[in-house]
Amino acid sequence: MKKIENYDEAPDRELTTTIEKFWTDNVNAERIMGTEVSASDRGSQAYFSDLQTQRYRSHRHLLPWIDSMVSGRTVLEIGCGVGLDAFTMAKKGMQVTAVDLTTVGIETVKTRFEAEGLDAEFKVADACELPFADDSFDYVYSFGVLHHVADTQKAIDEVYRVLKPGGEAKIMLYHRRSLNEWVHRLLKVPFEDRDELCPVVRRYTRAEIDDIFKKFSKTRQTLDFVYGEGYGLVFKVTPLWIYNLLSKYLGWHIMISGIK
């Protein structure tokens, strides 16, 4: 299988199908480098509780990022997976629409929303061809997804298209000049899953991000998440002030805000 790493490489025609199969077989947030996060059945209350607890324990910067959005506004999440962030945004009072490339992701998140009596719209869709009209959403949110799609630039252009004028894109993409990148390269550890090679894992410099988001009237980038629970004891024992300092300069996550 060809692994595409750089954003300017042209994807082959079957790449989206390959990506969909990988994320169907490796449902996002269920495992950390081969270790199961929950022993409970997929779709159960305990399953969602386990996954959500782990996500926000490891991704300390994520809840404040979501909380910065205004309640009551419309938001499209691209690549919702099993819907952990979509659920958080809905509980916050946002009008949620979410898409994922996998059927398993959409079926799983629907189970939770129906059980909780929460309203939202869910669709199986490709980030590169969103099934929504121009100027539809106040926010478009995507955390750690668009560096895995067949054509990241096209996906960002779709984000821009469906945003309302003055709307905000909140996107996380991987940072090439990060500690995590260097560790993975040094140890020859694959990204995303220990046992199967993820077909697309692009990483960017901050200058490349500026170019990808050039259509937006204003963009802002910050770095965060130098490493997570996949680092085991290192993550647990690192003092928070040291972790935050490392994240600011060597973080794996480029947190991007783009205003249309």
Asked whether the CA dihedral 122, 125, 131, 136 is positive or negative, the reply is: positive
Mean pLDDT, consecutive 10-residue stretches, the chain (260 aa), reads 39 82 93 88 96 96 97 98 98 98 97 96 97 98 96 97 98 97 87 74 96 97 95 94 97 98
Q: Supply φ then ψ for residue 230, to 5 degrees.
A: -65, -15
The pLDDT value recorded for residue 35 is 86
The pLDDT value recorded for residue 33 is 74
The pLDDT value recorded for residue 2 is 36
The pLDDT value recorded for residue 32 is 85
Superfamily, domain 15-259: Vaccinia Virus protein VP39 (3.40.50.150)
Query: Where in the chain are the domains?
Result: 15-259
Query: Quick check: helix, strand or coil at residue 37?
Result: coil
The DSSP string of 96-114 is: EEEEES-HHHHHHHHHHHH
- State the pairing for strand pair 253-259/163-174: antiparallel
Cβ-Cβ contacts under 8 Å for 107 (sequence gap 6 or more): none
Within a 10 A sphere around the Cβ of 250, how many other Cβ atoms? 17
Closest CA to 99 of 124, 132, 119, 74: 124
Give pTM, 2 decimals: 0.92
- How far is residue 254's CA from residue 260's CA, in Å, rounded to a whole number? 19
